[in-house]
Structure 1
Amino acid sequence: MKKAFLALLLLSPATAMAQGAPVATAAAVDPATTVTREFALKGGDNFRDVGGYRTADGRKVMWGKLYRSASVGRYTAEDQALIRGLSVGSIIDLRSTRERQADKSPWMQGADIGYWTRDYDLSGGNLGALFAKGAKIDAATMRGAMIDGYRAFPKEQAASYRVLFDRLLHSDKAVIVNCTAGKDRTGLATALVLSALGVPRDTIMRDYLLSNSALDMDALRADAGLKAAAAALPADVIQPLLDVEPAYLDAAFDQIDKDYGSVENYLKRELGVDRAAIQHLRQRMLR
């Protein structure tokens, strides 16, 4: 299981989504406050505010507390100015060591932002090995490898998720959590935070699936790391690698239930986030 999780290792940051200055899109706006969920960046992708969602008890996740993003490694100077304007105090970078080596402008490492990452190699099934051997892969195989990867995330990413929760619990400034495409490791990270806040699972799934529209799929397909694979495989086979699907996130939660009994137990045992910490998080992030 030492081969890279292909969906994440092969995807380098997507090319620019917008040609003008980074401004919020109109994809999802809170009608009460006109706060916008999605932002267009020149060098980044899939950048979204996680605020505005209703919890089961009727409260709402505050805007401007947690942002989710694809790679931060190619943010332009304008993107960086936007980030500082959002009062971001922490970046939790979930990318592996190999992924970060592709950065052309690792600005965050010397910035006045609490940048955190760790050195590790991704695991997540044998899809990388299959590609290396030139084996024929169908859509079901690709989808199965994605599901296997999601089942590995809760333990594989626990060290990173632990820091994410710590920053949310103790920092007064906003936090960005990112990976390469901002949809898989980041998707589960966001889902865990929303779960801790008491957001219903169907709402969490809707947020997760927004990556299918927030990502520039054409840019991902054309990315240098995917050109060979895309050329060798039919579109229907490569698509499960690029998309997010309900079955992926469901697999992660199912594995959590099997290994820990519940998300609450997972948060406590793996991340050190007990009931008292959850209540404190809700006080900080809900209104």
Structure 2
Amino acid sequence: MDRFLRGLARFTDGYLKSLPLMGKARPGRPNQALRLTVAERRTVADDVVALRLVGDGPLPAWQPGCHLDLHLASGLRRQYSLCGNPSDSTSYRIAVRRVGPGSTEVHALEAGSTVTVRGPRNAFPFVAEGPVLFVAGGIGITAILPMVLEAHRRNLDWRLVYTGRSTGSMPFLDELPPGADVRIGRTSDLLRDAHPDGAVYCCGPTGMLAAVRRDFASKRLHFERFSPPPIVDGRPFALELRRSGVTLSVPADRSALDVLRDLRPTVPYSCRQGFCGTCEVGGVRICVDRPTGDRLVLEEL
């Protein structure tokens, strides 16, 4: 499933441009750089801020499930789900929980700050058909909320289970449509309302995703990860940096990116799941790609 999703993520941007998803919005070119301004900064939960970003004119269209690549002043790149209204072409909204250096840098942005973004791109597309169950954990609501609102607007047969440690930690509670199942500190029986022939869209922490994947063995399960999946079928290989004349050993349970960053901590990366392209070197996405043989050669490093 993870290998399939990595492949899906790579062609989704181009494929979706040919589809009238939900009758209108299409994502912008994934490599289109935009210089946007923070028009509003608002605290929406404990350690979570929502930023409204505007440009000089209409922004590229997007669908539920899309995210932006933020290029931060430090050189870090991070992806954040668009969680506003797709019909609003004047602004984008993202919400960010402070959990590391990238998100801490985002939290330091104020109204009037500028930021470079690329996208929107979609590795988590929503097909507006019911019945559908949405499962969101904490900040995972950012990817799920636009889907829920679209399903509600279309009068689909939908359910939402939204879990969190406390109400104070859960953003956008005030924007949920009637009928949402909000659970505090309880993550059991997440799939109680899942229709056997319906779809499930899930975004949240690793433990939640593992539980949903275990309990809902269906091709109609769609999910977005916060962190990369463990490598379970890898083989060891040699990573040759042709320009540097260095060869590194990559064990079966690590990626080329992991090993390379031990040597060069400044090597850029972001999603670690193969869809953002930040770590791509010579056509190789070193966070996920492995050679068919026993050696991977990177000519540019």
Asked if Structure 1 and Structure 2 have the same fold, meaning a TM-score greater than 0.5 normalized by the shorter chain, the answer is no
Q: Give me the TM-score of the superposition, normalised by structure 2.
A: 0.26
Q: Normalized per residue, which structure has more helix? A: 1
- Which has the bigger relative contact order, CA under 8 A and spacing at least 6? 1
Q: Give me the TM-score of the superposition, normalised by structure 1.
A: 0.27
Q: Normalized per residue, which structure has more strand? A: 2
